[in-house]
Amino acid sequence: MVIGKVLSRNKRLLLRAKSLTTQISCLSSKPTASEVLTAYLTQCKEPPWTSYFVKYSSVKNDQYGMSNFNWKVGSSNYQILRTGCFPYIKYHCSKKAAEDLSTSDKFMRAIKVVNLGIPCLLYGLAATQLIRHEEIVHTSKGPVTIYFLIPEEKGSRY
């Protein structure tokens, strides 16, 4: 009986701790990388393609390990090429029909591992000097700045 009460009390404490952890993570001031991706594609009215950088420090990286994948936004599907290139995450988005990208995703991850991430790091360091344009993306957690090597022509078809 005493053991039952102790277990019940511990279970209640554990549930409270989980609830508190969930509440704290919801209060985080950073949006997820996926929210920024969706918000930007929506904000640009689902463009045929785009390519941008977002700082790691500006987002919660909820797409860690994802290199090539499909992403649905509104009525469009995007094939996303994504890589970490410190201090940024680089996204290249092309509006295309959904297809199985799992083999391509695994292959790209393997290449990054074999190369020890060195080309990605060099790309990020070079980007810090080559970025010439920035835009604001509006998210539920507030504005996030994204970066471009050159300004994109809004409304272009290709």
User: Contact at 8 Å (CB) between 54 and 147?
Assistant: yes
At residue 10, does pLDDT exceed 80? Answer: no
Q: How confident is the model at residue 21 (pLDDT cuts 50, 70, 90)?
A: very low
- Decide which of 20 and 130 is more confident: 130
Decide if pLDDT at 17 tops 90: no
Q: From CA 8, how far away is CA 22, in angstroms rounded?
A: 21
Mean pLDDT of 72-79: 95
The amino acid at 103 = T
Supply the pLDDT for residue 1: 59
Which is more confident, 25 or 127?
127
Give the containing element (helix H, strand E) for 125: helix 118-130
Assess contact for 63 and 82: CB atoms under 8 A: yes
Q: How much is the average pLDDT of 43-67? A: 94
The predicted structure's pLDDT at residue 152: 87
* Both structure tokens of 14: 């554990």
DSSP E strand boundaries for 24-153: 49-55, 68-73, 76-85, 88-95, 133-139, 142-148
pLDDT score of 154: 77
Domain boundaries, the chain: 1-29, 33-148
What confidence category does residue 153 fall into, taking pLDDT thresholds of 50, 70 and 90?
A: confident
Predicted structure pTM score: 0.78
Average pLDDT of the residues of the chain: 87
